Structure 1
Amino acid sequence: MSIRIIPEEEIKQAAGSFHNPPLLFSNPKNLYQHRAKRLRELAKAHPLADYLLFVADIVDSQARILQQHPIPQDPRLAKNNLSQPLLAEHPLSAQTWSRHPVWRELLTILLTDMKDKANEQSLQTIEWLEKTSDSELERLADKLLRQDFSQISSDKAVFIWAALSLYWLQLTQQIPHRSIAESSDNLHVCPVCASAPTASVIHLGSTQGLRYLHCSLCESEWNVVRAKCTNCDQSQHIDYWS
């Protein structure tokens, strides 16, 4: 693996390598507030304004749930259980991590919260999800996390993914936040949960000019040089847009 999360006992040894952090973890305290604000700004005079505003309401709900219904500490992520091999290879892999049922509780709260804001079509989806069995919800979640998007409709996926992402974001707060870059290869998926990135962003501030990929699931970001394709790891035929 090219970016490795390190246990606390290794942090002092690697302290000199943290000037430009290869891996950044989102701050739950302001992540959703900033996202909802941005979505509402984008919605102004936009042809998809209704959808953007609806998604902003979902993000607001995520923020409230995070504050009012935080998930408990997962014993598997206790300090004495976080070995170097575990942290080195996608410690919260979406494909292998055994989800705690608490993610479904987050979904239930989210669905209840969104009922008053939903239109008729969205309300039908919410009611369908509320009646769906736990086993079926887990099956749908598995398909989403495996990126088998053709097997689940987008109207259901948006709510399930919002709950899964809220769950994974909180898991990332339970593991060490230091990392080292061992190479610049194989960075096309998240070093934390092995999910695909949703966007590339160019940072300002202390990491100005650096490109980070933003994880679609756990909201972490990892550095990939701008002169490299994030899909094939090649640097040939790269075009820059300004």
Structure 2
Amino acid sequence: MPSALLQPELIGAVREIPALRLPSPDLFARRAGRARALAEGHDLGAFLRFAAVLAEAQQDVLDRSTASGRDLRALLDQCRIGGMPPLAHPGWQPDPHWAALARSLAEHLTAASPDLLPDQAKAACARILASGDVWLAEQGHLLLDPDATELPDLACAPLIGAAMQVAWTSQAARLNPDDVGPPAGAGLCPVCASPPVASIVRVGGAEDGARYLHCGLCASEWRLVRSQCSQCNNSRGITYLGLESRGEAVKAEACPECRSYLKICRMDKDLGVDPWADDLATMALDWLVDQEGFTRAGINFMMIQPEAPATSA
């Protein structure tokens, strides 16, 4: 039987793996669906259902938002020359100011799902609605600044973080991959310079088997080779820890060199995995890996916790 031969240039095109994946318009709706599915029979079912409601509110706010009228050409050109991510805080700020988005989320949650909100979330919504732009901006800065010495309001952090996600994701989705250069470091998003929430191994097409880090702020994804630490680039002795209940779909990829870890979600084991929702559903895995002496490298605004006080030897 005669066989068709692909031309070399076609083979290269088929095998080319995108280095960057920008967020899709239905990102938060898909997150909500995954969180709701994971909530069934889960010990953290109530928490995951709240996460689903929050993601649905994010999608609603995103759908009602309008494209920014700001001209980013000059900023993008400057970032390409300087090798900087175009939406890095504080060089880029969303317009309209994301503080308004925080109040929109609080209003949506309060009006649409009051019976599903935990008391802490109700109090956080009330505080956000009563707060001015200055306080909300300060809280947002504390969440985004890795060198901040002051903790943000822990009750309001998930909602304020969710508002920032909408603002940054909305703008990231409007970029062109050609506007974005390679990341300065594997562990920081090339779009907004934020750390990832987790990584995901994708299936299908040119991306089949490719691993991407998923940004915890703007939801962009950038490619990183498998079995390599996103923090120190080490590829030796990487350890994989998991929960029996989640099988092979979600594991913690732990580095023996820098003692950090990042969860990895595998679509070939569960096609529905979502880095944000599955991260929340595997909080027990964070406790397990913490007991082994590893430090979490990812960021999830739903899991902001105060640092443990130092103890004397």
Normalised TM-score (structure 1): 0.83
SS of the aligned residue for 2:169 comes to: helix
SS of the aligned residue for 2:222 comes to: strand
Give, in angstroms, the shift of residue 104 of structure 1.
1.6
Give, in angstroms, the shift of residue 17 of structure 1.
11
Distance 1:25 1:221 in 2: 6
What residue identity is the alignment partner of 1:107? Answer: A
Distance 1:149 1:27 in 2: 34
* Residue 100, structure 1, aligned to residue 95, structure 2: yes
Q: 1:123 to 1:182 in 2, by over 3 A?
A: closer
Distance 1:18 1:65 in 2: 37
Distance 1:138 1:221 in 2: 26
SS of the aligned residue for 1:83 comes to: helix
Quote the residue 1:157 is aligned against. Answer: 157
| Residue range with higher mean Cα deviation, 229-238 or 158-167 | 229-238
Quote the residue 1:37 is aligned against. Answer: 33
CA contact (8 A) 1:17 1:180 kept: no
For residues 182-206 of structure 1, give each alpha carbon's deviation from its aligned partner in whole angstroms, at most 9, with x where no partner exists.
69x8211101100000001100112
* Residue 21, structure 1, aligned to residue 49, structure 2: no
Distance 1:223 1:230 in 2: 11
Q: 1:72 to 1:84 in 2, by over 3 A?
A: closer
Give, in angstroms, the shift of residue 81 of structure 1.
5.3
Q: 1:59 to 1:182 in 2, by over 3 A?
A: closer
Distance 1:171 1:26 in 2: 10
The answer for unaligned runs of 5 or more in structure 1 is: 1-14
Quote the residue 2:196 is aligned against. Answer: 197
Distance 1:68 1:153 in 2: 27
SS of the aligned residue for 1:94 comes to: coil
Quote the residue 1:68 is aligned against. Answer: 64
CA contact (8 A) 2:68 2:95 kept: no
The answer for unaligned runs of 5 or more in structure 2 is: 1-11, 242-247, 249-313
Rg: which structure is higher?
A: 2
For residues 155-209 of structure 1, give each alpha carbon's deviation from its aligned partner in whole angstroms, at most 9, with x where no partner exists.
21100011101000111133222378869x8211101100000001100112111
Q: 1:216 to 1:182 in 2, by over 3 A?
A: closer
* Residue 83, structure 1, aligned to residue 71, structure 2: no
Quote the residue 1:110 is aligned against. Answer: 105
Quote the residue 2:267 is aligned against. Answer: none
Higher helix share: 1
What residue identity is the alignment partner of 1:113? Answer: H
Normalised TM-score (structure 2): 0.65
Large movers: runs of 4+ above 6 Å: 15-18, 179-183
| Residue range with higher mean Cα deviation, 36-45 or 148-157 | 148-157
Tell me how many residue pairs correspond in the alignment. 224
What residue identity is the alignment partner of 1:134? Answer: D
SS of the aligned residue for 2:239 comes to: coil
Distance 1:226 1:150 in 2: 35
Give, in angstroms, the shift of residue 152 of structure 1.
1.4
| Residue range with higher mean Cα deviation, 191-200 or 127-136 | 127-136
What residue identity is the alignment partner of 1:170? Answer: S
For residues 86-128 of structure 1, give each alpha carbon's deviation from its aligned partner in whole angstroms, at most 9, with x where no partner exists.
4742111124323434312211111100014223332111111
SS of the aligned residue for 1:151 comes to: coil
For residues 34-85 of structure 1, give each alpha carbon's deviation from its aligned partner in whole angstroms, at most 9, with x where no partner exists.
111110111011111111101100110111111123342322x1x4653164
> Higher relative CO (CA 8 A, sep ≥ 6), structure 1 or 2?
1
What CA RMSD, in Å, does the superposition of the two structures yield over aligned residues? 2.7
Distance 2:149 2:34 in 1: 26
Q: Which residues of 2 match residues 194-233 of structure 1 at below 5 A? A: 194-206=193-205, 207-233=207-233
SS of the aligned residue for 1:154 comes to: coil
Quote the residue 1:121 is aligned against. Answer: 120
CA contact (8 A) 2:80 2:179 kept: no
What residue identity is the alignment partner of 1:25? Answer: L
Distance 2:69 2:49 in 1: 33
